[in-house]
Amino acid sequence: MVFQFAIDYLKHRLTANSRHGTHSPFVYKLTDEVIYDFFEKKVYEAIEAQRKKLLNDDKLITVTDLGAGSHLNKNRTKKVSQIAKNALKAPRLAQLIYRLAENQHPSNMIELGTCLGITSAYLAKAQPTAKVLTIEGCPETAAVASQNFADLNLTNIELQVGNFNDLLPKAITNSETLDFVYVDGNHTKEATLNYFNWCLPKIHENSLLIFDDIYWSEGMKEAWQEIKNHPHVTVTVDLFWIGLVYFKKGQAKEHFKIKF
């Protein structure tokens, strides 16, 4: 599986474009101003300081995994530092998700897969007036995330603990529209397509859905292809690590691979 992942990454690097190979004005602007905005921002500092604390936290917790699991560590009892090292999004990617949320100006955000809460914190900081609902399947992991939110004085996050299949449909029902959804959990084809299809009734032309680990497995690659082919989807951006899905009316249907 790791070998195939490396092959997929190499293929992506060979076939993906930079902003200069992108002929869509929308995607060129997105790439130039958001994806390739690698300047350090003051807002990153407190969250990255919290990450460092987690990387040095040797407390043991029991992990409840309701999804596809980890490629790296199958043990149920793990140090917080192990989870922080292996499961948290790297700063470069977490900060990209921050910029995407900041650029999107959502009034509501849903995250599936809180983990230790670092990406949740970036979402909350990106739009302090927006409500961030983050859902985590593991109670002990969620408890660590909740403490991180308190340490960072984040008051616009609602953390729910439970099965995505139970909590996501309720969240969608209770939302008038879905502005920004980040799916980072249960990396199986069936689950990913379920989440996508459940969201569709509440999306609008300015919605953004982000799917994590789109090259995780053959099933995830198939799910990504089905999402791209859906008639409501107009633009997708494949960054290898994540896939961006847009629903802009009047936009020609196009799929882009961008180096990141």
**Which phi and psi angles does 247 have, rounded to 5°?**
-130, 35
pLDDT (0 to 100) of residue 72:
43
Rounded Cα distance, 133 and 57, in Å: 26
Rounded Cα distance, 189 and 45, in Å: 36
pLDDT (0 to 100) of residue 75:
56
Statement: residue 38 has pLDDT above 60: yes
Using DSSP bridges, classify how beta strands 242-246 and 208-212 pair: parallel, antiparallel or unpaired.
antiparallel
Q: What is the DSSP string of 91-144?
A: HHHHHHHHHHHHHH--SEEEEE--TTSHHHHHHHHH-TTSEEEEEES-HHHHHH
Question: Average pLDDT for residues 45-62, to the nearest whole number?
Answer: 97
Statement: residue 10 has pLDDT above 80: yes
Rounded Cα distance, 231 and 224, in Å: 14
In a 10 Å sphere around its CB, with 0-12 CB exposed, 13-18 middle and 19+ buried, how is residue 241 labelled? middle
48 contact partners, CB below 8 Å, separation of at least 6: 91
The gap between the terminal CA atoms of the chain, to the nearest Å, is: 22
Statement: residue 69 has pLDDT above 70: no
Residue 69's Cα: distance from chain center in Å?
Answer: 16
- Predicted confidence (pLDDT) per residue in 81-94, tens digit: 999 999 999 999 99
Rounded Cα distance, 88 and 258, in Å: 22
Question: Average pLDDT for residues 112-117, to the nearest whole number?
Answer: 97
Cβ distance 108 to 131 under 8 Å?
yes
Rounded Cα distance, 216 and 1, in Å: 9
pLDDT (0 to 100) of residue 2:
83
Q: Residue with structure tokens 């293929």?
A: 11
- Predicted confidence (pLDDT) per residue in 119-172, tens digit: 999 999 999 999 999 999 999 999 999 999 999 999 999 999 999 999 999 999
144, two tokens: 């660590």
Statement: residue 67 has pLDDT above 70: no
Q: What b-and-e string marks burial along 103-141, b requiring 16 or more CB atoms within 10 Å of the CB?
A: bbebebbbbbbbbbbbbbbbbbbbbeebbbbbbbbbebb
pTM of the model: 0.94
Statement: residue 71 has pLDDT above 60: no
pLDDT (0 to 100) of residue 252:
87
Question: Average pLDDT for residues 37-46, to the nearest whole number?
Answer: 97
**Cα→Cα distances 18→85, 190, 224, Å:** 29, 32, 21
Confidence of residue 68 (pLDDT cuts 50, 70, 90): low
Statement: residue 20 has pLDDT above 80: no
- Predicted confidence (pLDDT) per residue in 179-231, tens digit: 999 999 888 999 999 999 999 999 999 999 999 999 999 999 999 999 999 99
- pLDDT mean across residues, the chain: 94
**Which phi and psi angles does 232 have, rounded to 5°?**
-80, -15
pLDDT (0 to 100) of residue 66:
64
